[in-house]
Amino acid sequence: MVLFSDLNEHDFGQIHTPIDDLAYALDAVLFYEGEQALGVFTLRKGLVKLVRSTADGRERIVRVLRPGDVIGIEALATSHYDTEAVALTDISACRIPLSVLHHLSAHSPRLHLRLMQKWQHALKDADDWLAELNFGSARQRVAGLALKMRDAEQPQNTTLFSRQDMGAMLDLKLETVSREISALVRDGLLEPLDKSGRRYRIPNEKKLLSL
């Protein structure tokens, strides 16, 4: 699994609590902002958005987690979730009780190291979203998101989201997102792969990057 992949037999012997393997449907809420935390999740399949509601009531998506990422890692320190987590697709995830992680991170140097790497990755990811996707013109932002969301196996393809969600990620209105995507298609930088406006092919990655 994500966190336990390099544990040895002795480490596993210290896990006394069963670890749930859970499935959530599209739009299911894993937890709410500020909620008391029971455990931490590791994402096995699908995508999850982390959402904050701003002072004036609008929704802001701070980043999107992929398979292998830890959901709600902040609960390790405070036993509370700092953001809301919502399934962007049907997903499968493991829930690991906080007690298991607290015990193991103190007694297994391997898990300890792994957790530290997850913290670092989460922080870098947060900074990446701020520095790369929330800076510059609408065109640049949409292009950046398309590049970031390339499929792991087929890097020439990419999967986008509802225009509303993309707006909340990039700080743009949904009409602007739609217009910019249309413009990128018109300019030959994206090619639609379906009729729903979610999957696109990237014919020329460098050209997209150069914006």
Partner DNA sequence: CGAGCGCTTGACCGGCGTCAACACCCGTGG
Partner DNA sequence: CCACGGGTGTTGACGCCGGTCAAGCGCTCG
Residue 116 touches which member of DNA, a second copy, none, C-beta under 5-8 Å by kind:
a second copy
Cβ-based neighbours of 45, under 8 Å, separated by 6 or more:
67, 91, 92
Please say which residue, 36 or 137, places its beta carbon nearer to DNA: 137
Taking the complex as a whole, the smallest distance from the CB of residue 122 to DNA amounts, in Å, to: 27
Three-state SS letters, 64-113: EECCCCEECCCHHHHCECCCEEEECCCEEEEEEEHHHHHHHHHHCHHHHH
Taking the complex as a whole, the smallest distance from the CB of residue 79 to a second copy amounts, in Å, to: 11
For every residue of 144-179, DSSP letters joined together read HHHHHTB-SS-TTEEE---HHHHHHHHT--HHHHHH
Taking the complex as a whole, the smallest distance from the CB of residue 164 to DNA amounts, in Å, to: 5
In degrees and rounded to multiples of 5, residue 52 shows phi and psi of -120, 140
Give the C-alpha distances (Å, rounded to integers) separating 120 from 73, 113, 126.
11, 11, 10
User: Which residue among 65, 163, 202, 208 contacts DNA (CB under 7 A)?
Assistant: 163
Task: Indicate if the alpha-carbon torsion angle 24, 43, 140, 150 is positive or negative.
Answer: negative
User: Which residue among 8, 54, 154, 196 contacts DNA (CB under 7 A)?
Assistant: 196
List the interface residues with DNA, window 83-142 (CB under 7 A). 137-139
Q: Does 83 bind a second copy (CB under 8 A)?
A: yes
List the interface residues with a second copy, window 1-60 (CB under 8 A). 50, 52, 54-56, 58, 60
Q: Does 207 bind a second copy (CB under 8 A)?
A: no
Give the separation between CA 50 and CA 167, rounded to whole angstroms: 14
Give the separation between CA 96 and CA 197, rounded to whole angstroms: 36
Each residue 103-142 as x (binds a second copy by CB under 8 A) or -, in order, gives --xx--x--x---xx-xxxxxx-xx-xxxx-xxx---x--
Taking the complex as a whole, the smallest distance from the CB of residue 54 to DNA amounts, in Å, to: 14
Q: What is the side-by-side order of every strand in the sheet holding 39-45?
A: 20-24, 91-97, 39-45, 70-71
**List of residues contacting DNA (CB under 7 A):** 137-139, 162-164, 171-182, 195-198
**List of residues contacting a second copy (CB under 8 A):** 50, 52, 54-56, 58, 60, 62, 73-74, 76-78, 82-83, 105-106, 109, 112, 116-117, 119-124, 126-127, 129-132, 134-136, 140, 171, 209
